[in-house]
Amino acid sequence: MAFGQRKIEYKTNGQILKMREAGLVLAEALDEASAAAQIGATTAHLDAVFGAVLQRHGATSNFKGYHGFPANICASVNDEVVHGFPSEYALKDGDVLKIDGGAIIDGWHSDSARTIIVGTADPDDQRLSDVTQEAMWRGIAALAEARYVGQVGDAIDDFVSGVPGEALGILEDYVGHGIGSEMHQAPDVLNYRTGHRGARIKPGMCLAIEPMLVRGDLETKVLADDWTVVTVDGQRASQWEHSVAIHLGGIWVLSAHDGGVAGLAPFGVVPSPITS
């Protein structure tokens, strides 16, 4: 994606608290959709489960209707990297499912994604998901001390490139983003190291950090539906994502139930909730 000069939206504490409300609803919706991701369940069923949670809390999906997207979630299976349509596809043993969803409360957005391996996991697929998840947390941890957004991508890239064993690829065409009164805002949050340092980190920034890793080649293509992104070589992919706020007291993972306590603990980072 191009490095533009779009204006960054800085949030007040009150606005971040609204995003936290959206993040907690989203976390619950992802919990229920993930639990429903059993062998034989359709991805359309998962979409309905997710949507029911939003409705129960008076939230709306920021995906449904976005540039014509037809569903509450992106449900991407195996070589589908991201933006897959929920459908009557019945999940099979060993499928690698990515659920990416969002929620809006009073006009404020949250965005999060998880990888679920259905039934019995292939060890290489489990490693792919585990590395992607840790890469996300390392990026979030780096944000706690970063001066520039580009340091998030540096941390993710350094970790992934240093993992022992078969090399995993970091997709470069799909990156993280700012989030707030809209789902996608400035700045772009790259998942790889470049010479570009990115925007300066300031309190009030909210970022969605979402590495996407593949087991094979980095080349992707978009299917005829104009949305679903797949790997050209048919290899499997993983995506993990959280929405994170930066404020005067530190960082706070808005889409994690515990605010990021468990995920950040291995890196010595303690999230700081906003209380008022």
The maximal CA–CA distance of the chain, rounded, in angstroms, is 50
Q: Is the pLDDT of residue 164 over 60?
A: yes
pLDDT on residue 6: 80
| Statement: residue 40 has pLDDT above 80 | yes
177 annotated to a ligand binding site? yes
Is 241 within any annotated ligand binding site? yes
Is residue 184 marked as binding? Answer: yes
What would the pLDDT profile of 192-227 be if each residue is shown by its tens digit?
A: 999 889 999 999 999 999 999 999 999 999 999 999
> Average pLDDT over the chain, rounded to whole?
96
Q: How far is 170 from 231, CA to CA, in rounded Å?
A: 12
179 φ, ψ (degrees, to nearest 5): -150, 150
Inter-residue contact 112 to 135 (CB < 8 Å): no
Q: Structural domain boundaries of the chain? A: 13-267
CB 189 within 8 A of CB 160: no
Evaluate whether the domain defined by 13-267 bears CATH number 3.90.230.10. yes
Is a pLDDT exceeding 70 seen at residue 186? Answer: yes
Instruction: Confirm whether residue 134 is marked as ligand binding.
Output: no
Res 5: pLDDT: 60
Q: Per the annotation, does 100 bind a ligand?
A: yes
Q: Mean of the pLDDT values across residues 136-163?
A: 98
225 is in an annotated binding site: no
Query: How confident is the model at residue 75, as a pLDDT?
Result: 98
pLDDT, residue 1, reads 35
On the question of pLDDT at 4 being above 90, the answer is: no
Asked whether 203 and 248 are in contact (CB, 8 A), the reply is yes
* Residue 2 confidence class, pLDDT cut points 50, 70, 90: very low
**β-strands 185-189, 212-214 pairing:** unpaired
Is residue 83 annotated as involved in ligand binding? yes
